[in-house]
Amino acid sequence: MLAFNGVGHRFAARTIFNDVSLAIAEPRVVLSGANGIGKTTLLLIAGGLLRPANGEVTLNGNNVLDSAARPLIGMSASKVALPGFMSASDLLQFHQRLYGCAAPEYWITAFGLSDYLPTLVQDLSLGNYKKLSLILALMHQPELLLLDEPANGLDAKTREALYQCLAEYPGQIVIASHEPLNFAGHTVRQLHLDHNGVHER
Ligand SMILES: Nc1ncnc2c1ncn2[C@@H]1O[C@H](COP(=O)(O)OP(=O)(O)OP(=O)(O)O)[C@@H](O)[C@H]1O
């Protein structure tokens, strides 16, 4: 279970959120909120990529900042930059070796990235960069997937592949999104972030 315990964050003097305490056991969660309110920041903290100013986030009781949590979490967010100097295929192979997971062929085909494998990450189009980022987040089948606006910039066919993935994925998925998403039958917990914190929708 993902748990936020008294989590607060600020950038310089600006408080983004304060004292967020929340237990998330549901398999599908959507986080909404106005531009700039702090959704990405909350996901980065949940993914152990940003240390909160206050409090902690745990996954199954372990702090997400601990290295042991790393293989349990996959994250796709435009703020998480991929190394531009590598080709898409080199990066996928590196990720495969790092996590000892299966080759990503299935996902490459499903997301239609095959033609762009030799392309340097820095030369990928926005949509193909997003596809690569999604594949890297989920190919090791982490227990927790954190997705920031995953459908943004994807063509219609790839959106369908993404929706199928969101419906079938065996782990927990927390998504920051401005648009309604298709989870094909899953019960979805809707959370909303505003200046007073996180609320049920
Ligand atoms: N590294 C940083 N330094 C200073 N301010 C930052 C930093 N990262 C984010 N912010 C600010 O923190 C606030 C929250 O940003 P965040 O990206 O989490 O918002 P968001 O809800 O995801 O927005 P959007 O819906 O537009 O993607 C914004 O006002 C942003 O400008």
pTM: predicted TM-score of the whole model, two decimal places: 0.95
CA distances from 96 to 6, 119, 130, 137 (A): 35, 18, 18, 11
For residue 185, the model assigns a pLDDT of: 74
pLDDT digits (tens, 9 = 90+) for 73-105: 999 999 999 999 999 999 999 999 999 998 889
Q: Quote the ligand 1 centre to 170 CA distance (angstroms).
A: 30
ipTM metric:
0.98
Pocket test for ligand 1, best of 7, 40, 43, 45 (most atoms within 8 A of CB): 40
What is residue 187's predicted lDDT score, i.e. its pLDDT? 80
Number of domains in the chain: 1
Residue 113 belongs to a domain with what CATH number? 3.40.50.300
Q: What is the mean pLDDT of the chain?
A: 94
> Residues with beta carbon inside 6 Å of ligand 1?
11, 16, 33, 35-41
Q: Could you say which residues of the chain have pLDDT below 50?
A: none
Which residue segment(s) compose the domain that 9 sits in? 2-200
